[in-house]
Every structure is written in C-alpha cells, then in structure tokens.
Amino acid sequence: MLLEQERMQVVEYGRRMSSSGLSKGTSGNISVFHRGMELMAITASGVDYFEASAEDIVVMKLNGEIVEGSKKPSSEYDLHANIYRSKEDANSVVHTHSMYATTFACLREPIVATHYLIAAANTSIIKVVPYAMYGSTKLVEEVNKVETNGNALLLANHGLITWSNSLANAFNIAENVEWVAEVLWRTKCVGQPTVLSNHEIEETIQSFKGYGQDADASTSGY
C-alpha cells in the first residue's frame, strides 16, 4: 500500500480532530505530502473519521490524479495541493471548523496576539482569506492573494487552515490557534483585550525554536 505510514497518520489525526472538537461530523480534512514521491495522502470525502481505515485515505498527485484509493478525495484537495506547491516547508495540512476560529472567520476579523501562544503559528496575526465556496478554484486563488509568513489562515465564513513540516506540528498549530481565538473572544466579552506587539511575538517565536528536549524538533507544547 502506497504511503502506508502517512495514511495511518491521517486516520489517527482525523480521529483526534473530531474527538477534540476541532471539527464536527465529517467536516474538516487532513493531508500529508511525501515530497520525494510527490504524492499526497488525504482524507476521503464524507467518511466518518472513527470508521475510516488507512485504505480509505486517498493517495493522489498534486494535479488531482488519484494514484491509489477507491474513495472520492476531500473536496478541498486542491487547497491542500496549493499549500504544498507554494510552501516548500509544508508537508502536512490540517483544515478545521473549530468553534472560536470559525467565529472570527465568520466575523471576517483576524485573530490577534492576545496570548503568546499565537507564536505557535509563527506569526502575530492570523489573517482572513476573502470568502469563496469550499472546494473551488476561486478559494485557492483567494488564499494565494493573502501574504503571510506564518502557518495559519482563516477562511472567511468557513474555518481555519494550518500547515507545517509534520502532521503533529500542523495539528498542534490548529489546537493553539483555536485556544487563542477562544481567549480573544472571552476577553472581548469582558472589555478591550491587550494585544502583544510584533516584537514580543517574534521573541516568543525565536524562543520556541529551542523549547523542549530536542531543540531541532518543532514544539508540541509550551
């Protein structure tokens, strides 16, 4: 079976995404890209994450050609492929419909640095991509228009997309962005939140690079 390990990872993190509340039902999607083989393993469309097996994960080329798998791939496969084409350090993509991040996406309001954990996404602001229908070429075009040095974007009236060098890191970014979004929402309910400066977040980003037991590994907790 092609990309067996990658497909097993997608199954595992699909279940984590659902059980953690980052997405509901069969919504959201996950992929892993093998750059050496130029193949992407991505969740199938409409398949329950808790019933999915490695065989249900679709292996395809970035041009949309299915190489292995009997299922229809996620409708967002081109969105994932576009990330891999445009960002050389991206090997995994996680797309969620998490409550608080999606709330800001529907407000078309960026998530700002009310807490330093936004630095997990390598940025001080999670920008909003203008609305376009899910799975459309227009959505890909809109994503390409938004400049970011970070690893996350909000999709207007839709959800959140994150990417990183590994699936563990991309999922970690999605979790942290959702938590910061909730903090931002709660502070706005009480008053006017204080936003950390770009310099303060950049200091945190640099600090995260040496965090944990292995300074060469991207962080999974702070």
What's the average pLDDT block by block, 10 residues per block, for the chain (222 residues)? 97 96 92 98 94 96 96 97 97 98 98 98 98 97 96 98 98 98 98 97 92 51 60
Could you please state the CATH topology (level 3) that the domain comprising 4-208 is classified under: L-fuculose-1-phosphate Aldolase (3.40.225)
Q: What is the pLDDT of residues 141-200, one digit of tens each?
A: 999 999 999 999 999 999 999 999 999 999 999 999 999 999 999 999 999 999 999 999
**Predicted local confidence at residue 7, as pLDDT:** 97
d(CA 180, CA 201): 13
Provide the whole-model pTM: 0.94
CB atoms near residue 145 (< 10 Å): 8
Catalytic residue among 51, 65, 68, 76: 76
**Predicted local confidence at residue 215, as pLDDT:** 46
**Predicted local confidence at residue 19, as pLDDT:** 95
Q: In this structure, are strands 128-129 and 152-155 parallel, antiparallel, or unpaired?
A: parallel
**Predicted local confidence at residue 212, as pLDDT:** 59
d(CA 78, CA 80): 5
Residue 76 falls in the annotated catalytic set = yes
The token duo for 11 is 């199954």
φ, ψ for residue 30, nearest 5 deg: -140, 145
